[in-house]
Structures are given as structure tokens and as C-alpha cells.
């Protein structure tokens, strides 16, 4: 088992990662009857995409003897209705100015990011706007 989730009431859950004991809470978003005081479940999906992209690039970079420390991602979720769902995810990746890579290295890392497990798990109707700012 990966996690245990407990409904706290008032549209809030508490999720515990069983291996580490780390806990996070979720709230329904303010545009869907919630308080928006924590990540919403759909916020976690888009956040998972960005963190997965950076993590898999980090794994690949390690084998290439490249340090990606300080890489940042800004992620935006765009919702659709009827049915309510994530329709678009915008991820802007920003790499440290001190990072100097050739075009082949950049291509390898971008391809790695675009094929991370979370990206491969998304429905094909979800539009992805991925920008790599080297």
C-alpha cells in the first residue's frame, strides 16, 4: 500500500505516505465549494507532473554528470466543466543561469521530461504546454 487517506470532513482529506510517514492535506478548491486552504486533488496532479519531470531529468542528469540543482518549475492548472476535469497543464521549467549545456544535452533532458511516468499517465485529451527555459 502506498498511502492512507482519511476524510476529515468539510471537504478536507489527510493523506499519509506510509513509507515515510509524511502527511499532506487536501481541500476542495474555492470554485468547487471548498476552502482552498490546501492543495486540491487536481492541484496535486499538476504538481505531480512538474515534480516528476524534474525528478526524471535529475536521474538522467546524474548519469550525464550534470547538476540540475536550483531548477524551478512554475505550473498552472486549467479546468474545464461538464464534466469537471483538468483540460490543460502549463509547465514552465527554469534552469539555473550557471548551467551550460549543449543542444544535444538539452534535447536528452527535454525528452526525458516529456516521457516521465506522470505525463504518460495523463489522459490524451489533457493539453500540455511545456516550456524549457535554458
pLDDT of residue 72: 98
What stretches in the chain show pLDDT beneath 70? none
- Distance, in Å, from the CA atom of 51 to the CA atom of 134, rounded to the nearest integer, reads 18
pLDDT of residue 17: 98
Residue 13, domain extent: 1-39
Strand stretches in the chain, DSSP E: 3-9, 12-17, 23-27, 72-80, 85-94, 127-133
Task: Quote the number of domains for the chain.
Answer: 2
pLDDT of residue 11: 98
For residue 106, say if its preceding peptide bond is cis, omega within 30 degrees of 0.
no
Based on the fold, state whether residues 62 and 7 are members of the same structural domain: no
Predicted TM-score (pTM) of this structure: 0.95
Contacts of 101-105 with C-beta under 8 Å, sequence gap 24+, read 101/66, 101/134, 105/64, 105/66
Closest residue by Cα to residue 64 from 114, 97, 93, 105: 105
Based on the fold, state whether residues 81 and 122 are members of the same structural domain: yes
Based on the fold, state whether residues 61 and 114 are members of the same structural domain: yes
pLDDT of residue 36: 94
Based on the fold, state whether residues 31 and 51 are members of the same structural domain: no
Based on the fold, state whether residues 23 and 76 are members of the same structural domain: no
pLDDT of residue 109: 98
pLDDT tens digit sequence for 26-50: 999 999 999 999 999 999 999 999 9
Helix/strand/coil for 51: helix
- Residues in Cβ contact with 53 at an 8 Å cutoff, skipping those fewer than 6 apart: 73, 91, 93, 113, 114, 116, 118, 119, 130
Amino acid at each position: 500500500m502506498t498511502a492512507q487517506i482519511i476524510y476529515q470532513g468539510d471537504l478536507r482529506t489527510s493523506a499519509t505516505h506510509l513509507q515515510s510517514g509524511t502527511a499532506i492535506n487536501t481541500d476542495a478548491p474555492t470554485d468547487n465549494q471548498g476552502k482552498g486552504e490546501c492543495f486540491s486533488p487536481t492541484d496535486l496532479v499538476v504538481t505531480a507532473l512538474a515534480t516528476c519531470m524534474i525528478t526524471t531529468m535529475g536521474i538522467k542528469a546524474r548519469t550525464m554528470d550534470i547538476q540540475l540543482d536550483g531548477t524551478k518549475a512554475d505550473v498552472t492548472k486549467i479546468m474545464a466543466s461538464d464534466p469537471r476535469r483538468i483540460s490543460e497543464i502549463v509547465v514552465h521549467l527554469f534552469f539555473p543561469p550557471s548551467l551550460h549545456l549543449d543542444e544535444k544535452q538539452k534535447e536528452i533532458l527535454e525528452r526525458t521530461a516529456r516521457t516521465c511516468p506522470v505525463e504518460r499517465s495523463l489522459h490524451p485529451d489533457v493539453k500540455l504546454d511545456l516550456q524549457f527555459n535554458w
